[in-house]
């Protein structure tokens, strides 16, 4: 009887300890779930224009692209596509055919990590540029092939005649004209700054000059991230074509904006600068996952 009583007391104590441990774990989990979020500083830091980069050896394609851009702006096609991403419409999946030189194909180079202009879900492509690519291919009577690659390889692939056209939220920039012939502009863009949500140092800023004054006062102890090959990199590191003097902060390039913002949330960066529309989309998506 004494042995049974001893075992009963011992088991009760063990269960009590387990319960306390479980409660402690729950409390720890609650604290660990309190993760950082990010916010976009709603001030345009640059003034840019997106265009498509066409193979220089295909001047007829450039003419057809420019005609298509004019038509899609006048007949409401571009507005309708943008509504799928900025309004109440639904994004439309775009499929890529397999590259086949025996077929009449439009081969598009992109970097599908630039929502809402180009991104993937499963095997399908989505985004403003991807829907435009599909509409352009249909207009030309060609089969659409999408080649996904790093952003800084997009223009090069067209320059090497591996692709017909670059459609990747591509800002018109003189040094890129070494590889592509730019179409007419189809979208006005800008760079915006992303910071942790608890950052208040830009709360009183009204203009780009206000933001720049704060950023230019930072030294190498501060860290800023960007997507490699984009205007964000030129802004941070300096670029004569743009007239950017560059920042004194330690700067780091990433394959895409999402990785940069995630590193901001992880506490490894103080700031991120990327294109306006992707900044909004990426921040919203990553915040929802916290």
Question: Could you write out the three-class secondary structure of 122-135?
Answer: CCEEECHHHHHHHH
Tokens 């915006």, located at residue: 192
CATH number for the domain that contains residue 97: 3.40.190.10
Mean pLDDT of the chain: 90
Average pLDDT over residues 84-102: 96
- Asked if the model's pLDDT at residue 76 lies above 90, the reply is yes
- Residue 24 within a domain: no
- Residue 29 within a domain: no
Which among 158, 184, 210 is the end of a domain? Answer: 184
- Asked if the model's pLDDT at residue 174 lies above 70, the reply is yes
- Asked if the model's pLDDT at residue 65 lies above 90, the reply is yes
Residues 200 and 276 in one domain: yes
pTM: 0.83
Tokens 């700031």, located at residue: 271
Burial of 277 (0-12, 13-18, 19+ CB in 10 A): buried
What value, to the nearest 5°, has the Cα angle with vertex 45 and ends 273 and 237?
55
Nearest to 178 by CA among 45, 22, 53: 53
The tokens describing 109, both together, are: 């180079």
Per-residue CA distances from 274 to 195, 261, 262 (Å): 12, 10, 13
Percent of the chain with pLDDT over 90: 86
- Residue 214 within a domain: yes
pLDDT at 130: 98
Please give the Cα distance from 122 to 124 (Å, whole number). Answer: 6
Residues 131 and 165 in one domain: yes
Average pLDDT over residues 157-175: 97
- Asked if the model's pLDDT at residue 166 lies above 50, the reply is yes
pLDDT level of residue 241 (50, 70, 90 thresholds): confident
Residues 60 and 155 in one domain: yes
pLDDT at 290: 83
Domain that holds residue 90: 52-184
Residues 68 and 149 in one domain: yes
Q: Which residue has the higher pLDDT, 19 or 111?
A: 111
Phi-psi category of residue 236: left, alpha or beta, with phi > 0 → left and psi -120 to 50 → alpha? alpha
Which among 184, 214, 242 is the end of a domain? Answer: 184
Number of domains in the chain: 2
Per-residue CA distances from 174 to 152, 202, 242 (Å): 15, 32, 9
Residues 138 and 214 in one domain: no
Contacts of 89 (CB under 8 A, 6+ apart): 80, 83
Which among 151, 168, 184 is the end of a domain? Answer: 184
């Amino acid at each position: 009887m004494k042995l049974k009583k001893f075992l009963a007391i011992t088991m009760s104590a063990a269960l009590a300890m387990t319960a306390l441990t479980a409660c402690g774990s729950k409390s720890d989990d609650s604290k660990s779930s309190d993760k950082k979020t990010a916010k976009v500083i709603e001030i345009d830091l640059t003034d840019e224009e997106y265009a498509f980069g066409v193979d220089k050896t295909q001047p007829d394609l450039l003419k057809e692209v420019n005609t298509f851009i004019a038509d899609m702006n006048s007949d409401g096609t571009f507005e309708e596509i943008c509504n799928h991403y900025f309004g109440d419409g639904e994004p439309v999946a775009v499929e890529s055919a397999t590259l086949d030189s025996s077929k009449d194909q439009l081969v598009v180079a992109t970097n599908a990590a630039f929502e809402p202009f180009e991104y993937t879900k499963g095997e399908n492509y989505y985004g403003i540029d991807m829907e435009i690519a599909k509409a352009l291919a249909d207009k030309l009577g060609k089969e659409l092939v999408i080649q996904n690659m790093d952003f800084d390889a997009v223009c090069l692939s067209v320059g090497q005649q591996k692709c017909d056209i670059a459609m990747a939220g591509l800002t018109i920039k003189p040094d890129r004209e070494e590889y592509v012939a730019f179409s007419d502009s189809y979208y006005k863009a800008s760079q915006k700054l992303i910071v942790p949500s608890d950052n208040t140092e830009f709360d009183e800023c009204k203009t780009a000059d206000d933001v720049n004054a704060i950023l230019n006062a930072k030294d190498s102890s501060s860290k800023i991230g960007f997507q490699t090959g984009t205007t964000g990199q030129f802004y941070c590191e300096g670029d004569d074509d743009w007239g950017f003097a560059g920042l004194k902060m330690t700067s780091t390039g990433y394959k895409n904006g999402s990785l940069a913002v995630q590193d901001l949330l992880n506490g490894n960066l103080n700031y991120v600068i990327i294109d306006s529309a992707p900044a909004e989309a990426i921040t919203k998506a990553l915040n929802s996952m916290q």
